Structure 1
């Protein structure tokens, strides 16, 4: 479930909550191994991994875990993606950081996270970014990706009329920009869908026993 749903927030539910849920499912499945034939970890064996916090009670603990794990891309990589299993389409297990399947899943998770929680599209304000509420008081508009700028005081025409702090809920603000963010998420999914189809259409290497036959016949393709 999305952070918004888990926290029983009054913020309106949108398709963005569904995309957020999909991100968590991608990470959970990637940790276990994609597909039953490539599932190399059992659910009970995840207890020592940070992702196990997603099913700990009370619910507030799950909310805080997800806020932490998806607050930054670095946190996602080190606490979640670092433990992704390999094997999307092979029977080989690899914890090698250079494994292409693991890298592919990590990149997908990071792009979905970036679009949901660090969205910097034109027309999407900094108020939509992050996984937790934050206060602004006497602040200028921070640049994209400059979370530390939230605490920088300013003066003059850019300062708000009041020094009273304003609490910003990024999930509430995200609803207002739902259409823009959804289009970006669809673009991410479409991009990976096309990449997956291209990968699937690549010629498959011949099994070892057929390679020798191909060499004798002078054609590798005939052995495939």
Structure 2
């Protein structure tokens, strides 16, 4: 539909008359007669021409100027009609582009697609999940601290995150505490803390720049800068 409208708009614009080109012949004839009229006027002053010659030229000028005015009026009307049709088509094209724009799905964040729930061409209703996307340029490690450790950490504190490198060694990343829970919870079974006897812990998040090695779901160890506590 858009291609058809664009084609129609192009065709309509092609119908716009070139007023200057289409009136050039008449204007040239009028210009020639005006020069001839001036020549005859000089001859009359020198008694080398008569008044009838001047009158004939004047009559021809009046006819041609009338024809030129009529032609210009018709061409202007035609131009206005073409402009109106062109504007109407441009409005339709703009409305169609707006409708098409609303059908495009764009992610509100820049990231990596983790899961795809729909395929191209499928019908998706409002609120239907299409993709799971995550920004993995900055990762967040969720860790847990005891109440004793909680008293020694605060937002924006520096922390070192250590992860296995898969070759028997480890990698370390410098991060900052970006979130601290205000509620305690029972220690998750998969989590180890310095004091394994602690039943209640507080969740925190450490923001870590990712060099491409870190993956979602990886386990890590946190070393706090305050006394190197784990």
Note whether the superposition's TM-score is higher than 0.5.
no
Normalised to the residue count of structure 2, the TM-score between the two structures is 0.24
Where is the helix percentage greater, Structure 1 or Structure 2? 1
- Which structure has greater strand proportion? 2
Answer with 1 or 2: which has the greater Rg: 2
